Chains A and B, each alone.
Chain A
Amino acid sequence: MLEVKNLHAVVAEEEKQILRGINLTVKPGEVHAIMGPNGSGKSTFANVLAGRETYEVTDGSVTLDGADMLEMEVEDRAHAGVFMAFQYPVEIPGVSNTYFLRAALNAKRQANGEEELGSMEFMKFIREKIDLLKLPQDLLTRSVNEGFSGGEKKRNEIFQMAVLEPRLCVLDETDSGLDIDALKTVADGVNALRSPDRMFVVVTHYQRLLNYIVPDYVHILMGGKIVKSGDKSLALELEEKGYGWLEEEFAGATQ
C-alpha cells in the first residue's frame, strides 16, 4: 500500500512551494488518476515519489508497504518497487536497451537477495515481455531511446515497466505528445500489466488517456493539494467543464 500524508515539497534551489499537503492512499490493485491544470504540481508529485533530487520534501511522509520512501535513494526506491514512466524519456546513445535493462533488473534482484539472471535466462525473460506487449524485437538492440519517436519512447517506458515488475507504477503525463494509435498501444501495455498486487498512479492533464486506462479513483490537484476526489465520472465532468469552475471554487483554499 502507498500512503502519502501531508506531503509538502519545494524546488530545492528556489524554495518555491509546489506541494502543499497531499494526502493519498493507494491500495494494491487500484489505479488512481491525478488530474490538474498546468502548474498544479501533479508532475512534481510524480517526481517526488520517484525521488528526483531537484525537489525537497519539507513536510509529510510517503510510505510504500510501510517502508519510509523519503529516506531512500532513487535506486533504493526502484529496488523497493517504485517505477516512474517519464514524461520525457532520456536518450542514452551507446548503451543498448538490453544491457541497460539487464543492469537494472539485476541490481534490483541483487538488492532483494535474489540471484542475478544470466544472459541466456535474461534474454528468454525479456523476449516473453516483448511478446506480451506486442513490441518490435529491434527495441532490444537499439540504444536506449536514441532516435526514437515520441510513441516509441513511451512504449519503451512501458516495456521497462514490464521487465522490472514494479509494485508501484507512476505514469507522468505518459499521454503527452502521443497520437491516438500510440496512446492506445501504450494503454494496452499498461492494462496488460494491471494485477491485484500492483498499484498505479496515473498523472495526466487530459481525460483522453483515462478512456483507455480506466481508473478506480480520480483526484484533482490544484495549488499543490488534492481538492476533489471521485470515481471515473469526475474525469468526464472535467472534460466537459474544464478546470475553470474548480479554480473559482477552490481559489481560497489554495492560497
Chain B
Amino acid sequence: MTYEIEQSQVLAMAEKRSGDGPAWLRDLRTKGLKIHREHGIPTPKNEEWKYTPLRDVARVDYTVAEGGPAVFDQDFGSLSGSPIRIVMVNGRFDRNLSEVPAQTGLIACSLRDAWIEHEELVQAHLGQVARIEEHTFAALNTALFDDGLFICFKDGAAVEHVIEVIHVSSGEEMVVVPRTLIVAGENASGKIVERYVTDGNSTCLTLPVTEVFTARYANIEHVRVQDEATTNFHIGLWEIKQVENSEYRSYNVAFGAKIGRLDQNIWLGGEHVVTRLDGVVVARGEQLLDNHTRLDHALPNCNSYEIYKQIIDDKATVVFNGKIFVHQDAQKTDAEQTNQALLLSPTATINSKPQLEIFADDVKCTHGATVGQLEEEPMFYLRSRGVTKDKAEAILVYAFAAEVLELISDDTVRDNLEKRLFDKLAIL
C-alpha cells in the first residue's frame, strides 16, 4: 500500500531534526518520523488515498527547504487589508516581511520562539490536536518542521483585526512543511486568514499542518485559501479541537496546486458546540483537488453545518469525502451536510462520497450531494438582457460559488475573495 521509494534526503533531514527542541518536542518528532517511515507515501490501494494519485510525488527525491528568498518578484497582496500580516517563507516566520503590531490579548510569533517562551501552551496542544498517526504527511511535517507560527488569543481577548497569514512555498523539488498552531482561550474571539501561495511556478511538495484549539466560549472564524501555482503539490492536514460552548467557523477555498489534498478534521469535544466547515473548490486544466472532511460529534447538543461547492472544468478532477461521526453519547446532534458540484466540461470528473456513521438515536443528520451543469433558464435570462454567453456562464458559475463566500463575516476578506474567484472564472 506504499510506494517502495526511499525519500533518502528527506529522511536524512528528519533524522537530523529529530534532535531539535526540548525533550517533549524531540519525542514528538521521533514519533512523527516513525509513523512516516511505517506509512510512507500511500498508493491508490489505500482506501483513504484511492483518488489521490501520488505516483508523481513518490518519483521525486525531494530535498528539504531551508529558508527561502528574502524578496519576491511578486506582491502577494492582502485579502483582509489588516495591519497584522504575517509572511511565512518555506515554513519559517519571516521577520522582515511580517508586520505584527502589538494587540491586547494576542500572541503571534514564530513557533520556535513560542516553544521556548510559551512552552506550556505549545506543549499542551502541538501535536496533540492533530492525529498524526492517521496522516503520514502530517507525521512527516512533525518530524521536519524547524519553525512555524504560533497564534494565541488569550482568555477574554477580542482581537478586532483579522490575522492574515501568507505561507509562501519557493523552490524546485523541495519539501516545505508549514506548521501553524492556533489556541483560542476562554471567551476569546478572533479571525484568521491563512493563504498558501507559491513564488512563481514552484515545484515544491508543500505539506502544511494547522492545529486549532478553541476553549470554552471561544469564537473563531478561520479562512484557508490554497492559491498555489498549478505546478505545486499540496497535501495538508487541518485539525481542530473544540470544547464546550465554543463556535468555530471555517471556510476552505481551494483554487491552486497541481494536486491539492486537504484533510480537515474537527472534534466537537463538548456540549453546545457550533461548527461550520464550508468549502469552495475551483479545478481547471488537469488539476486534482481532493478534500476530505471529518466531523466527530462526541457529545450531546452540538450543531454542525457543512456546505461544499465545487466547480470543475477541462480535464480536472475533484474529490470530496465528507465523514460525519455521531458518537453514542452525542444525542440531540444536528448535522447538515451539502455537497454540490458543477461540471463545466464533459471531461471533468467529480468523486463525491458523503459518509455518515451514527451511533446515537436521537439526532438530526441530513446530507445531500448533487452534480450538475449550468441551468438553461438563468443562461437565457442573462443573455436576453445582452450579457454575452461566455460572460453569462462566468456570472452563473461565480454565483454558484459566491453563495458560500457570502457566509464569511469580514467584508473585506469576502469582497476580495469574491474578486479573486471572479478573476479565476472570467478567464474560463
Contacts and interface: CB of A to CB of B under 8 A. Distances in A.
A27 to B, nearest CB: 24
B365 interface: no
A164 B399 contact: no
Given A73-B389, A75-B388, A103-B395, A94 B383 contact: no
Given A53-B380, A92-B381, A75 B386 contact: yes
Which of A89, A100, A101, A103 has the most chain B CB atoms inside 10 A of its CB? Answer: A103
B386 A94 contact: no
A84 interface: yes
Contacts of B387: 75, 100, 103-104, 107
B393 to A, nearest CB: 12
Given A75-B389, A90-B378, A94-B402, A100 B383 contact: no
Contacts of A51: 383-384
Nearest to A88: B377
Nearest to A107: B386
Bin chain A's interface residue count.
20 to 34
A90 B395 contact: no
Contact of A104 (B386, B398, B402): B386
A52 interface: yes
A79 B383 CA distance: 10
> What does DSSP make chain A's interface, helix, strand, loop or mixed?
helix
Contact of B382 (A52, A100, A105, A164): A100
B7 to A, nearest CB: 44
B327 interface: no
A74 B380 contact: yes
Bin chain B's interface residue count.
20 to 34
Contacts of A84: 384
A174 interface: no
A105 B385 CA distance: 8
B385 A92 contact: no
Nearest to A143: B399
B398 to A, nearest CB: 7
A55 B51 CA distance: 43
Contact of A95 (B383, B384, B386, B398): B398
A108 interface: yes
B113 interface: no
A103 B391 contact: yes
Contacts of A83: 384-385
A73 B384 CA distance: 9
B384 A92 contact: no
Given A95-B395, A107-B386, A160-B385, 8 more contacts: A75-B384, A75-B386, A75-B392, A78-B385, A86-B381, A94-B398, A94-B402, A101-B385
13 contacts: A51-B383, A53-B380, A77-B384, A83-B385, A93-B403, A94-B401, A94-B406, A95-B395, A95-B399, A103-B391, A104-B382, A107-B388, A164-B386
Ranked nearest first, the 3 interchain pairs of A and B with the lowest CB-CB distance are A94-B399, A78-B386, A104-B385
Interface of B: 377-378, 380-389, 391-392, 395-396, 398-403, 406
Interface of A: 50-53, 73-75, 77-79, 83-84, 86, 89-90, 92-95, 100-101, 103-105, 107-108, 111, 160, 164
